[in-house]
Structure 1
Amino acid sequence: MNDPVAAREALIIEAIGEAGRLVESVEASTTHLRQIGRELNAAQAALRVSLVDFESRLSAVTEHAKTVCIKHIAEHTQDAARRSIDQQSRAMADAARLAFGAQLGGSMERLQALLRPLVESRQRRWKTVMRYAATAATASVTTLVITILTGQS
């Protein structure tokens, strides 16, 4: 074994054996890597299907959320509009009452001042008429009673 040629040949044989094992290992790794590539492609296809399903569900949820949000905003907008209209109506009615009240109040006071003497004079006339009517009624009743009493005696 001291022969350098024999040692070199032994090393070459051993290196060839190592190279063979390395080639077998690379071939096994290649087969294994191809299997992993197929599995990755299958996983990618499944992920695409899942992603399409997820996107459609997310789109449906988004549309539902938009619809609910729009309804909510519309309801609150209508409620705010109703309250605003009520407040404006009340404010306008109050303003009209004040404006017409002041104008009408002065007119009513003038009208009352004009009518008061007429009403008082009518009341005085009615008092006079009622006194005459009461006197006439008393006279009639007295006459009737006297007639009845004298007619019985």
Structure 2
Amino acid sequence: MSDLVTAREELMAVAIGDLGTLLDRVEKLAPQLDASRMELLSASSDLADMVEAYAKRMDEITENAKLQTVKHIARRADEMARGTVDTQTRAMEEAARVVFRNEIGPVLQRVTLPLQDVAELARKGARPWEGWLLHAATAVLASAISWAMATWLWLR
């Protein structure tokens, strides 16, 4: 049994020696761990600053993108509106031409035919008052044409 106690004591002595070596290593490792912790804290702080700067930059980029998008949409809407106005203007002009050709043209022809007859009679000198009638008819025709043009312009 003495061998057993001696072996146990010897193992205990070796374990205590190993424990001492381990404690020395841990004591040497503590400043390195502390330095690593400080570097990690510094890196964490730097990373937080970088993330904040990145977030700020992304906000600026997003705002710029929004602004450019709004400008693009406004520009395209303006172009579309101008195109629509041009198309409507052309359609209205064409409609006015058709109305003038189909509605006002025949009326003017009906008005001018009697006036041409009156002018022919005035040239022949049939009656003296017919000259004044020609002037009155001319005034009526001028008034009708003015009225027709005003109506046409109003309809545009």
Partner residue, 2:65: 65
Partner residue, 1:102: 102
Q: Which amino acid aligns with 1:55?
A: A
Identity, % of aligned positions: 34
Partner residue, 1:15: 15
TM-score by length of 1: 0.68
Q: Which amino acid aligns with 1:84?
A: T
Query: Matched residues in 1 for 2:115 and 2:47: separation?
Result: 97
The alpha-carbon deviation at position 119 of structure 1 amounts to: 4.6
Q: Deviations over 1:117-145 (max 9, x none)?
A: 3455566x49xxxxxxxxxxxxxxxxxxx
The alpha-carbon deviation at position 42 of structure 1 amounts to: 0.4
Q: Which amino acid aligns with 2:86?
A: D
In structure 2, list runs of 5 or more residues that go unmatched: 126-156
Query: Matched residues in 2 for 1:20 and 1:32: separation?
Result: 19
Query: Matched residues in 2 for 1:60 and 1:66: separation?
Result: 10
Cα RMSD for the two superposed structures: 2.4
1:90 and 2:94 aligned = no
Aligned structure 1 segments of 4 or more residues deviating by more than 6 angstroms: none
In structure 1, list runs of 5 or more residues that go unmatched: 127-153
Q: Which amino acid aligns with 2:4?
A: P
Q: Which amino acid aligns with 2:19?
A: A
**Bigger Rg, which one:** 1
Partner residue, 2:55: 55
Query: Matched residues in 1 for 2:94 and 2:22: separation?
Result: 102
Single out whichever of 97-106 and 84-93 deviates more from structure 2: 97-106
Q: Which amino acid aligns with 1:40?
A: L
Query: Matched residues in 2 for 1:100 and 1:90: separation?
Result: 15
Single out whichever of 52-61 and 6-15 deviates more from structure 2: 52-61
The alpha-carbon deviation at position 26 of structure 1 amounts to: 2.9
Q: Which amino acid aligns with 1:60?
A: E
Please give the secondary structure, in 2, of the residue aligned with 1:63: helix
TM-score by length of 2: 0.66
1:44 and 2:44 aligned = yes
Query: Matched residues in 2 for 1:107 and 1:43: separation?
Result: 93
Query: Matched residues in 1 for 2:23 and 2:53: separation?
Result: 44
Q: Which amino acid aligns with 1:97?
A: R
